[in-house]
Amino acid sequence: MDRILRGIMRYRVLDRASMVKQFQLVRDNPVPKAIFYTCMDSRMIPTRFTETSVGDMFVVRNAGNVIPHSQFFGDEITSCEPAGLELACIVNDIRHIIICGHSDCKAMNLLYKLKSKEESSIQQRRLSPLKSWLCNHCQSSLDKFLKVDGDFDKPILFSGETPQREFVAYIDPQNKFCTEDKLSQVNTLQQLQNVASYQMLKKRLEKHDLHIHALWFDIYTGDIYYFSRRSKCFIIIDESSYENILAEVRKYYS
């Protein structure tokens, strides 16, 4: 708390006045352009590495950047992730949903261990809310990951915005990342499929009026990757790829 309080005092001196001006500009009519789902990992600071400002996007964070499939939504049981979809896409009519995973994700590292029946037993899940969360909502990611049986030259099939927009993904074709990071990339793409399962989004997705994107952040290099459906893999966003990625986004999501 000492660190937090010192930070608040520094903010009051250095940043408060400029932030108040930004708040005033968007106070009466904030127009966020996207909703950004990412992990609660303390190293993930999405507004910083996207250079976004006050009012630019909604941000939802949880363990593993997960959006539960609609099958887990009930009359009396839900979570903030689908509520965020409704607030952003239905109430505020935003057009872009972004899911961002990352390397060395502690939730994904644990999910990989949960392939062991002993680790994912009912008894273990009762003792651990985190294990229960991952077993309930990331089993589909783990199943897809285990299906390739370590052969990542094999493509993995995902559903897109509609059943007609299925896409395949080759995970880490250059073999740069560890096994758990590969699982993190699979899990990030699985969330696109989970988002599309919500009936409230169906019409907008079918009309190409709502778009779902996947990013992946390497916390050790600071590099950010974009999943390219044209290239069928995550590609680094840098000076050499930026124009091609932008052209793909404009063509695919126009």
Q: Is the whole-model pTM more than 0.85? A: yes
CB 214 within 8 A of CB 188: yes
Domains along the chain with CATH numbers: 31-252 (3.40.1050.10)
Task: Give the full edge-to-edge strand order of the sheet including 233-236.
Answer: 57-62, 34-39, 96-102, 211-217, 224-228, 233-236
Asked if 26 and 46 touch (Cβ cutoff 8 Å), the reply is no
Collect all residues with Cβ–Cβ distance below 8 Å to 195 and sequence separation of at least 6: 67, 85, 97, 99, 201, 212
Give the E-state strand segments of the chain in sequence order. Answer: 34-39, 57-62, 96-102, 156-158, 167-169, 211-217, 224-228, 233-236
pLDDT single digits (tens) 144-191: 999 998 999 999 999 989 888 899 999 999 999 999 999 999 999 999
**221-251: pLDDT as tens digits:** 999 999 999 999 999 999 999 999 999 998 8
Distance CA 72, CA 18 (A): 42
